Chain A
């Protein structure tokens, strides 16, 4: 029989609670495949944030912990300090990571804490109805920016670039997109390996789609996520030698 799902999926909870066409489903599926191929299902603990990411609370068949809004990184690094042999994943959206939780992430990066942070960037606060978030680009129309996000405001916050400045030179900092799932899956694997094998900080931002709040169909959503790459360059960010 064909097996479509990763082994670590919790089959009983499917279909999951995400909207039709949500990027979270695709990212989590490939996170599942990555965990399957690395055979680390018994060692992983997933921390999830408030926001749409919390709907992943029963997505997988391994330990998942729900944290306060923006406090996923400190909760998971505390867990990692107490249980150094486990693999701590912090999974959050762009609102939780770059608005309320930015200081936690920057300090974790500065101390080179051995955790893996995965940020799903869909340019809005999706759960509450599509308000503008720190990563919303200038000119984008959302329900809180009906005339388009002001031109004189700072455009989308570039998380990986910011973290790169703080992070240790051995830390893994990268940005990828769900429009290319195979590359995304490999980068997820790399981010987990950085923690598991070299004990360094890993930060991965994934550009994602939100058809419900962008009010786009499948084709337009995929077009927009490719357009996002103009503002958010993809790739791994390496520390420049001084």
Chain B
């Protein structure tokens, strides 16, 4: 093929631009013409982050495109931004542990799933998510895994604080490279934010936690003087753990309510 158009869509903080940059460098080392441009909003976290990547044998005249050959979708909230780039010939690669098939743009084409979030949390560490994706993409685009890892290591060197994390990261990357896509039968999108408010009653107090607003910053857990709060299995709006409250310990000091930036938690005394 003379020209390959790749669109990566995710959310700020997921590492979409890092993946795209490493891929672009890897293609460039193979002697291809590459163009990569990022597009993201003003926020640092939590809004769609899109990368346009063109790989060609000829000179590239314009870095944007209207229809993509590959759509890599890593976050549900980014789908609206990129769905117009999909067409009948496109191939879609998505994170099947956070996105359900029904949310994807409707095409009659090949859809490949990789439950990267689940693998990262269960086998490696949560941030290894993008390494698994990058490993798989390196395989899909026929890039040499050692070369890609070298480029990636150059990018992320400063972020690996210990040798342990570095080793795990490399394992995650190579695991992704060897992963076999899910086709037709996908993982359950288990990592979904909880939609319902959590109301807990007891010991003369009523606590209300709203997962739809919780961003998982952990301020309430840090500020609780009696350690009545801890992370639970419910997930908040950024698929981070929502606090759960032990009302027996709670002294109703109100610190969690004062410090929650998003108004997601409150404990009140029953009248």
**Chain A residues within 8 Å of B, Cβ to Cβ:** 2, 4-5, 9, 14-26, 29, 54-55, 126-127, 129, 181-182, 211-213, 217-219, 222
* Smallest CB gap from B218: residue in A: A218
B223 touches A4 (CB 8 A): no
B47 touches A17 (CB 8 A): yes
**Chain B residues within 8 Å of A, Cβ to Cβ:** 42-47, 206, 208, 210, 212-213, 215-219, 221-223, 237-238, 240, 257-266, 268
B261 touches A22 (CB 8 A): yes
Given A54-B42, A127-B44, A222-B223, does the pair A15, B208 have CB atoms closer than 8 Å?
no
A222 touches B222 (CB 8 A): yes
A218 touches B222 (CB 8 A): yes
Of the candidates B42, B213, B219, B264, the one whose C-beta lies within 8 Å of that of A218 is B219
With a cutoff of 8 Å between Cβ atoms, the chain B residues found around residue A22 in the complex are: 217, 261
A16 touches B262 (CB 8 A): yes
Of the candidates A9, A19, A26, the one whose C-beta lies within 8 Å of that of B46 is A19
With a cutoff of 8 Å between Cβ atoms, the chain B residues found around residue A182 in the complex are: 258
With a cutoff of 8 Å between Cβ atoms, the chain A residues found around residue B47 in the complex are: 17
Q: Number of A-B pairs whose CB atoms are under 8 Å?
A: 82
With a cutoff of 8 Å between Cβ atoms, the chain A residues found around residue B240 in the complex are: 20
With a cutoff of 8 Å between Cβ atoms, the chain B residues found around residue A2 in the complex are: 206, 208, 266, 268
Of the candidates A126, A219, A222, the one whose C-beta lies within 8 Å of that of B44 is A126
Bound form: Cα–Cα A21–B260 in Å: 8
Of the candidates A29, A54, A212, the one whose C-beta lies within 8 Å of that of B261 is A29
Given A19-B45, A19-B46, A29-B261, does the pair A222, B219 have CB atoms closer than 8 Å?
yes
* Smallest CB gap from B220: residue in A: A218
Which A-B residue pairs are the 8 nearest by beta carbons?
Answer: A25-B261, A21-B217, A20-B215, A218-B218, A20-B217, A19-B45, A218-B222, A181-B258
* Smallest CB gap from B219: residue in A: A218
Question: How far is the CB of A6 from the nearest CB of chain B, in Å?
Answer: 8
With a cutoff of 8 Å between Cβ atoms, the chain B residues found around residue A5 in the complex are: 263
Given A20-B215, A26-B261, does the pair A4, B222 have CB atoms closer than 8 Å?
no
Q: List 4 additional contacts besides A24-B261, A181-B259; criterion CB under 8 Å.
A: A4-B208, A4-B210, A20-B238, A218-B218
Bound form: Cα–Cα A183–B268 in Å: 21
Interface hub of A4, A55, A182 (most chain B Cβ within 10 A): A4
Interface hub of B212, B215, B238, B257 (most chain A Cβ within 10 A): B215
A212 touches B265 (CB 8 A): no
A-B contact pairs, 29 of them (CB 8 A): A2-B266, A2-B268, A4-B208, A4-B210, A4-B264, A4-B265, A4-B266, A14-B263, A15-B213, A17-B46, A18-B43, A18-B261, A19-B44, A20-B217, A21-B219, A21-B261, A22-B261, A25-B261, A25-B262, A29-B261, A29-B263, A55-B42, A55-B43, A182-B258, A212-B45, A213-B44, A218-B217, A218-B221, A222-B219
